[in-house]
A and B are shown apart, each in its own frame.
Chain A
C-alpha cells in the first residue's frame, strides 16, 4: 500500500531528526509549547524509539506566557521523562521589560536575545525548530538545515544549497544550525496529524469561556492581574480559542464554539485568514519576520 501524504511527511521528519542526532555535536530542540511543538516532540519520541531522544529540550520563557502553557510544559516533561531546560532573560525581567511599554523591543529582548544567550551558554550546535514554510514568506525561503553565523544571524541572500536529502551539517566553532523537520507541513497537515496520532495539545486551542478584552481588532485574554487595562476596558467572559500560542498580551484569540478537536479542525480548514494574523508581532511591517530572523530570532 502506498504511503499517505502524512506518512511521507512523518518519514521525512524522522529522517531529519536522525541526521541531526548522528552528525551534530550538541543538538537541542526548541520547545514553544504550541501545537507544532507538540507534533515535533511526538516525532522526536518516534524517531529514536526505543531510545529517548538523545538531546534536551529548551523553552525560552518570556514570563508572559499563558499560565496553562507553563502547566502543560511541566506536566509533559515529567510524564515523558525528558530533559526540559527553561531559560529566561532574568536581567530584563528584573528591569521590568514588558509587552505593554516596550513594543517591538520586548520581543527582541525576551525572545531573540534570550534565545541567543541560551544557545551560547549551553554551546548548542544545532537547534530544532517547528517552523513551517507555509507560515510566512521569509520562512518559505528557508532551508531545512539553516546555517547561522557566530552571531546566530541568518543570511537569506547566501544560503547553503540543499540538494536532495544530503544535508551539509558542517560548521566551525561558534556557528550553528537551525533545523526545521516539519518545513514541508501545512497547518492542515499538523491538525490532521494531531488527530491521527491522538497528540495532546494545550487546552487553550479549544473554545472555552475566558476573560477577554477587545483591543485594536484583537481579542486579548486577561490571564493574570499584570494585564494593563485601558480606561473603560472591562474583561468580559467570552467563548474563545487560540489559533497560535505565545505571550498572552500579544496573542489574539477568536470567538468560537469549537471545543472538540474535530470542531477545531473543521473551523481551521474553513478559515479565511491565515494563521499568523493572530500573532500580533507579524503585522508590524512587510519583512518583519525576515528582519527578526537575520537578528537571530528563530
Chain B
C-alpha cells in the first residue's frame, strides 16, 4: 500500500490567535481532495454566511463546536484524519488563545511534529514562543515554522528573512534540532500544497511535501526493555499473566526480567500478543506475559530488563499547571505515573519559567498555564525515570483529590541517584550533597511543614558558606558526616574533607546534630518559619 511508505505522522498546528491554523489544515484537506462531496457542499454553504465575503472559509472544516462557530475561535483540539498518496496523517488542530493553552498542550502530548504558525505581518509573538516552549517540554522533536499570511506583506522576502532570524533565536534558545521554516499563505494556498508563483525566491519544499517526506525515526532508542503492568489476568488457577504495553525494547520467552519495585527476578514463561501466543514481542505491542515463578507484581509495577529505571520517592519535575485553582504546596494530589496512581505532594517550587523569555522567575504562587519547576514527594517509592531517558515513566499528571480535575501535567527532570542538582560541597573528586540551607515553612492551610530548597550550587574547598540566615544559624566551626570522612567547616569556610575534630559539633547533611541522644533537637540550628506568602486553596 503506497500510503504506508512513510508511516503515520501525528502532528499539531499551533501558534497565536488568528494566525490561521484551522484555515491552513482546511486548505490542505480541500486541495488534497480529501473531503467528501457532502462536506464540501456544507463548507460552501456555511461560508456564504461567514466572514470571507462568500469566499470559502476553510477554518469551518475544523471548528466543530457550536461555541467555536459562534465566537469564530478554536476552543478545543480537533483531530482530523487524512491520507495522501505518500503518507497517512492525524492532525490535531489546537486553540491559539492563552485561555485554552492546556487544550493546546493536550494536542502537543499526542504529536510527533509541530507546525507552528507565525503571522508574517506580526512576527514571533508571546503566544508563538509559549507554544514552541510547551511543544518542546512535551517531548516534540520535529518542528515546522510556517510563516503565514505572506499575501498580506506582498510576499516580501526581506520581511520573511527578518522573521526567520527571530525564529532562529527561538530555536537556539529551546534547543530545537529539527526545524524548517516555510513561507505560506493559508487562505490563498501559496506553498501549502502547491509551489507559489508569487514567491519565486523560495526554493524549499511546500508544507505538504515536507510533511509527506519528513523522517521522524531519528534519535537513539530508549535503553533496555520495560512494560508497566496494567492488570493481572487470572482466568483460573493455572494462568497468571501480566498485561501491559511494551514501552521500549523487546522480550522473548526465556528472558530474565526484573519485577520493579520489588526487584525479584523471574524468567518469561509465555507471551501473548493480544490473544495470540508468541515467542517474542516488541515496542508498542499490547501483551500478556507469564513468569516462571511467583513474584510480587500488581498494577503499577514494571517488568524490566537492562532499562536502569529508578525507584524513588522524590524527584524534581517541570509542570504545566492547568487548573483554575492555584498550585498548593503540601496539599495532597493524586499523581499518575505510568500505570501507578498514588498520593503525592509538591514540597517546593523552585522557580517559574517565563514563557516568553525562558527566564527563571522566583515563584510564590502558580496559576493556570504557568510552567514551574518543583520538587514532588510520593507517598511510597515508585518506579520512574527521567523523561529524556524513558519517556513513558517520565510523564506524569496531578489530579485534584476533591474536584478530580487534571490539575497539571509534567515531566521528570531528575530522580534517584542521578539527581545532580542540589547544593554540594566539593573537594577534588569527592562531592557531598547537603541540605543545610533548605528553608522549612509551616503552611497553616495544610497543617504541614514543607521544605523549600535553594537554587543548585556547588561550594569548592576554600569557599565561604552562607551559614547565617533567618531560617538557620550554624556555628562557624563544625564537622559534617559523610562517606568520604568528615567535611570540615572552619571559620565559616569549607576546609575540605578531613579528620573529625571532637571539640566541634558533628552534624549530618540535613543539619541535625549527631552524637547526641534521641530525641534530637531539629531546632538547635534551624527554625521553622510560618508561610506568609499568597498560596491559596
Contact = CB atoms under 8 A, between A and B. Distances in A.
B79 A286 contact: no
Contacts of B39: 274
Interface string B3-20: 010011000000000000
Given A274-B36, A277-B38, A11 B285 contact: yes
B79 A140 contact: yes
Contact of A18 (B243, B284, B399, B409): B243
Interface stretch (A65-73, A86-94, A131-139, A258-266): A131-139
A169 B406 CA distance: 10
Given A14-B286, A161-B322, A50 B233 contact: yes
Contacts of B241: 50
A11 B404 contact: no
Interface string B385-420: 000000010011101000011100100000000000
Contact of A161 (B88, B106, B243, B396): B106
Query: Which range holds the interface residue count of chain A?
Result: 35 or more
Contact of B80 (A2, A140, A273): A140
Interface of B: 4, 7-8, 36-39, 46, 62, 64-67, 69, 75-81, 83, 88, 90, 102-103, 105-106, 109-110, 138, 230-231, 233-235, 239, 241, 243-245, 272, 274-275, 284-286, 288, 299, 322, 334, 336, 339, 341, 392, 395-397, 399, 404-406, 409
Identify whether the interface residues of B are mostly helix, strand, loop, or mixed: mixed
A134 B80 CA distance: 6
A78 interface: no
A169 to B, nearest CB: 9
Nearest to A187: B81
Contacts of B106: 143, 161-163
Interface string A19-47: 10111000000000000000000000111
A290 B231 contact: no
The 10 closest A-B pairs by CB, nearest first: A137-B64, A49-B275, A14-B286, A170-B404, A274-B36, A46-B274, A163-B409, A51-B235, A18-B230, A22-B231
A184 interface: yes
Contact of B274 (A10, A22, A290): A10
Contacts of A133: 79, 81
Given A5-B8, A170-B334, A49 B274 contact: yes
A95 interface: no
A15 interface: yes
B404 A172 contact: yes
A3 interface: yes
Contacts of B245: 11, 14-15
Q: Which of B65, B76, B274, B392 has most A Cβ within 10 Å?
A: B274
A158 B331 CA distance: 24
A171 interface: yes
Given A47-B286, A277-B38, A163 B8 contact: no
Contacts of A171: 404
A18 B78 CA distance: 25
A278 to B, nearest CB: 10
Given A5-B88, A45-B275, A163 B65 contact: no
20 contacts: A2-B7, A3-B285, A4-B4, A7-B284, A10-B286, A11-B284, A45-B275, A47-B243, A50-B239, A51-B233, A133-B81, A157-B67, A159-B103, A161-B102, A161-B103, A166-B409, A168-B336, A186-B81, A273-B37, A274-B36
Interface of A: 2-5, 7-8, 10-11, 14-15, 18-19, 21-23, 45-52, 133-134, 136-138, 140-141, 143, 156-157, 159-168, 170-172, 183-184, 186, 188, 271-274, 277, 286-287, 290-291
A189 to B, nearest CB: 9
A185 to B, nearest CB: 9
Contacts of A186: 81
A112 B241 CA distance: 39
B65 A138 contact: yes
Contact of B285 (A7, A22, A134): A7
Contacts of A8: 8, 284
Contacts of A137: 62, 64-65, 78
Contacts of A170: 334, 399, 404
A43 to B, nearest CB: 8
